[in-house]
Amino acid sequence: MAPNYNERVKVIFVPIGSNGFYQFGGERSRFDQQPVEAQAMVSACLEAYRITDNKFWNKEAELHLNGFLDVTI
């Protein structure tokens, strides 16, 4: 069954911080995330939008950018 990309699931993008290494099953570093992680996610969403012309991906790019900037829309 194909995924329904128009159905919004509550997911929050939280990149793992670079303050130490993450051990599987261990505690994640909640701070010191790098801007490159948010940029990569935004770029991937914008590329998906460019290829599919599905506005879902444009909105996802906006959500990831605003989440990184801690902006509530």
Q: What is the pLDDT of residues 16-60, one digit of tens each?
A: 666 666 677 877 666 666 788 889 999 999 999 999 999 999 999
Task: Identify whether the C-beta of residue 13 lies closer than 8 Å to the C-beta of residue 33.
Answer: no
- Domain boundaries defined on the chain: 35-69
Q: How many CB atoms lie within 10 A of CB 62?
A: 15
Question: Residue 65: its pLDDT value, please?
Answer: 87
Main-chain dihedrals φ then ψ at residue 14, nearest 5 degrees? -130, 95
Average pLDDT over residues 1-8: 58
Question: Between 7 and 25, whose confidence is greater?
Answer: 25
- Is pLDDT of 10 > 80? no
Q: What pLDDT does 19 receive?
A: 65
Q: What is the pLDDT of residue 27?
A: 74
